[in-house]
Structure 1
Amino acid sequence: MGNRANIVLVDHDGWQLRYSHWAGCQSYEESPAGQVNRLAELFVTEGLPSPEVSASAVSDAGERPSPAEWARFERACAQVRTAGKAA
């Protein structure tokens, strides 16, 4: 049957168990983690500079991101757009 994801729908009639072939195949690619992974692969493939994020940015403490980190991210995004590779 291939990949599939089970989905539970709850409404006034109760619970329904359904499955979605699309969700099983595409859910990771469409998730935030999948999009970040795709962007990281694009940086490597196109030889673009990778944005750097400080440890405090992901630990929910400190300044997120620093002005220098944000500037690097914006430059990398501009390079992706210029290269015509943005989704």
Structure 2
Amino acid sequence: MATKQTAGAFDIRNVIAGLIGVYGVILTLVGLFGDEEADKTGDVNANLWAGLMMVVFAVAFALWARLRPVVVPDEEPPGDQAQSDAG
């Protein structure tokens, strides 16, 4: 019986989650410790809220990739094998 292979780290959802997560953490830290210029955003800390939403988005993508992994086929489809044998 063949074992299922998954894309693992090469799944694009993991790459997206990693990038968005890093940017989200940076924005969250800037929102917490950065300059307080709330006049530009109507007294809302835009960096903090955008960073938190990006972290939530990254966690959702990582969970999606973990719970529904992409299964990589082990074999060639039958149509491709017939064409390579004939040529």
TM-score, L = length of structure 1: 0.29
Higher Cα Rg, which structure: 2
Return the structure number with greater strand share: 1
Higher relative contact order, chain-length normalized (CA < 8 Å, sep 6+) = 2
Report which of the two has the higher share of helix: 2
